[in-house]
Chains A and B, each alone.
Chain A
Amino acid sequence: MRKRKPLQVHAVDDVSFSIAKNETLGLVGESGSGKTTLGRTVLMLEPRNSGRITFEGVPISEVKGEELRLFRKKMQIVFQDPYSSLDPRARIMDIVAEPLRAFGEEENVIDEAVRRVAAEVNLPTDSLTRFPHEFSGGQRQRIAIARAIVINPKFIVLDEPTSALDSSVQAQILNLLRKIQEELGLTYLLITHNVGVVRYMANRIAVMYCGKLVEVGSTREVLEQPLHPYTSALISSIPQPDPTKRMDAVPVTGEVPSTINPPRGCRFNPRCTYAKDTCRTDEPNLRKILPGHLAACHFAENFIHEACAK
């Protein structure tokens, strides 16, 4: 019997970035970009082949076992799907208390903490004894957020926190997230495919495509002066809620390539209108184009236009 060599998928390939305290970094990308995998790897929920993760100066990627478990007190995550992220057979108070129980807090401390965070996220007091199926999507997401903050973490990964919610509820949750960020001094890694959300929430943006980082910079700069063709294509593809601003032509054709067999050279080159020969052979590195603004394109400088008055 011949054993087939397993296909290797580099979901995240050579990605480096840092997040400052109290900052929100928005990680933007489409499906297959690797953003969700990256978010989970940062929390050490996924194994990684190489690379280092440093938290408050400590290289947590070298830490194992019990020591790593203790770091979980400081880093938490809110998942995308409010329907599967809560145990359907557990009561809300137990769901929210879970991180506290993991670290052996006493019952009266737990009790008080749970009530406190429930009030913080605007959950009615009688909801603590109920079960998840009695709540709407938006309320469940509040419960998930309560669970994430009950242990007073410093850093939270928000994995598409509002993608599964209706737009009217999305606004409530976004406002809530900003409110608690201010009050508790939190740092966020916000993963989303929605540019409107990231514009409203993030200080800085990192754009991913096919497992690679293609552009990093402050939110305003990246959205108003994108230096990478994919970023501008992405921004132009977003439909505006304004019928006078319709797209004339389709910004980009083709499909997002699979990470199993990415294109040679720059991964975006098959779909890029500006692609030249070098793009097909050399993979561009993420490099500084303007102060605080990086892009992975051989010709990024060409995209700087003077029409930006800052």
Chain B
Amino acid sequence: MKEITALNGVHLSMQAGQIVAVVGESGCGKSTLGLSIIKLLQKPPAEIESGRIIFKGKDLLKLNNKEMANLRGTSISMIFQEPMSSLDPVYTVGNQIEEAIEIREKRMGAKDYGPFPRTNPELRRGTQGGLTRVFGVQLPKSRREYVYSEEIVDVMKRVQIADPERVLNKYPHELSGGMVQRVMIAQALVEKPSLLIADEPTSAVDVTTQAQVLKLMQELRSEIGSSILLVTHDLAVAAQVADRIAVMYAGELVELADVKELFEYPLHPYTEGLLKSLPRQYRDEGRLEAIAGDVPDLKSPPSGCRFHPRCKYAFDRCNAEHPELVEPKPKRKVACFLRYPN
């Protein structure tokens, strides 16, 4: 069985209310990074060998399962790429948002909702059309429609879901992918997390829906002050919303900078290559410059700098030694010998 190092020497820090985008291609470890922070990695086969994850002064790696579970859904939230598999198919949308509120209230020590909290009267204002009469006998309708509390309806309106009362009583499979992704964000809004980890939240939706979802995420930051760790392969998406960008390649952090500076003047050859390979020109306006070669197989990564086989600036040192992160300018980190101070 081969072992691979999915993440190697990634140093990242985030401030409150900041949006940091982690950008990279397949196999770079960005999703693993997100899952590690919220400690949702499957322990076998994954193992965290070293490092710390400091959240509000506490090292998350030292917390036990119960303490970590308390943080999830309240202080740290996550939304995933595939909207359809992120919601439980046997509960309606309304149920799931209620659940989010209950978890929040419980964590804040407010009330004890007991083993079957969904009968909580504060979250629902009542049922409508619950029963029908057939030959004078009361029969339950096949589906109970609930009227949810204002808070829930409000948050649905905020994520631009038209007709929230109806949608709240629907099951996930009755909604489109874009809708479900917005429900996920509604859940996040309700949870009011300090940190939201969004793992490729727009890869599975249309571009018009993507624009809406990105806008919503920005509102999340401005209204609640959440920090967002946005994991994406799309540099353009990162350009739209991020304050800072971390570029990853083959499990390592290769560049970290404020968003404007990164796009204006990328320091790492990989970042430069990525930017150049995005098609922006017309057919008659010259060729795209592609990065040669393929993303390396993490089972046998290249020696020295992992990018050197594809790098057009590579020289001898790149093969022999592994570059560490240096800080050539304030608030800019890069792992490349070209940027070493000499």
Contacts and interface: CB of A to CB of B under 8 A. Distances in A.
Interface of A: 24, 30-31, 136-139, 166-172, 174-175, 178, 193, 195-197, 199-203, 219-220, 233-234, 236-244, 246-247, 250-256
B287 A175 contact: yes
B207 A238 contact: yes
A174 B278 contact: no
Nearest to B23: A167
Given A166-B25, A168-B274, A241-B280, 19 more contacts: A24-B283, A166-B233, A167-B25, A167-B234, A167-B277, A167-B278, A171-B277, A171-B288, A174-B279, A175-B287, A196-B280, A199-B281, A201-B279, A240-B236, A242-B263, A243-B239, A244-B260, A252-B208, A253-B212
Contact of A200 (B26, B236, B288): B288
A240 B176 CA distance: 26
B207 A246 contact: no
A236 B242 CA distance: 19
List the 9 closest pairs (A to B, CB-CB), nearest first: A171-B290, A171-B277, A200-B279, A166-B25, A239-B236, A30-B206, A241-B236, A237-B211, A168-B291
A139 B294 contact: yes
B137 interface: no
B282 interface: yes
A96 B212 CA distance: 43
B210 interface: yes
Contact of A253 (B160, B240, B277, B290): B160
Interface in B238-281: 239-240, 242, 259-260, 263, 273-275, 277-281
A123 to B, nearest CB: 12
Interface in B209-253: 209-212, 214-215, 233-237, 239-240, 242
Most B-side CB within 10 Å, residue of A24, A31, A170, A201: A31
Most A-side CB within 10 Å, residue of B179, B208, B278: B208
A236 B294 CA distance: 32
B338 interface: no
A175 B290 contact: yes
B178 A168 contact: no
A234 B208 contact: yes
Interface string B138-160: 00000000000000000000001
B291 A138 contact: no
B280 A239 contact: no
11 contacts: A166-B25, A166-B295, A168-B274, A168-B277, A171-B279, A199-B281, A241-B235, A243-B263, A247-B215, A247-B240, A252-B208
B162 interface: yes
Contacts of B292: 172
Nearest to B288: A171
B181 to A, nearest CB: 11
A196 B280 CA distance: 6
A142 to B, nearest CB: 11
B294 A239 contact: no
Contacts of B179: 255
A101 B179 CA distance: 47
Contacts of B287: 175, 178
B47 interface: no
B215 to A, nearest CB: 5
B283 to A, nearest CB: 6
Contacts of B288: 171, 174-175, 200
B211 to A, nearest CB: 4
Contacts of A167: 25, 233-235, 274, 277-278
